[in-house]
Amino acid sequence: MTPAPPKPTPTPPVARDSFRFDLLNRATAPGIARAVVTDLMTLTGNTELVDDMRVLVSELVTNVHLHTDTAVVRLD
């Protein structure tokens, strides 16, 4: 009887790129954030996430603008 060959070791997941951008905390920040996220999702092949991500980033950046006194909004 011949022993079975060893199973290959699974390849660990590849680390994904991370992205960061800073915006001045102004009334224009949510619109700029939506545009950046739209481009980022499109460039990374995640077009199915564009609509959801636009809503999320818009809400988050708007809340930061309305309810904080920070000068910069950072998105990671």
Domain boundaries, the chain: 21-75
For 43, the token pair is 């460039």
C-alpha gyration radius of the chain:
20
Mean pLDDT value of segment 59-67: 96
Q: Maximum CA pair distance of the chain?
A: 74
Mean pLDDT value of segment 56-71: 96
**Calpha distance 63→54 (Å, rounded):** 14
Q: What is the pLDDT of residues 16-61, one digit of tens each?
A: 678 899 999 999 999 999 999 999 999 888 899 999 999 999 999 9
Q: Looking at residue 33, what is its pLDDT?
A: 97
Q: Is residue 23 a contact partner of residue 73, using CB atoms and an 8 Å limit? A: yes
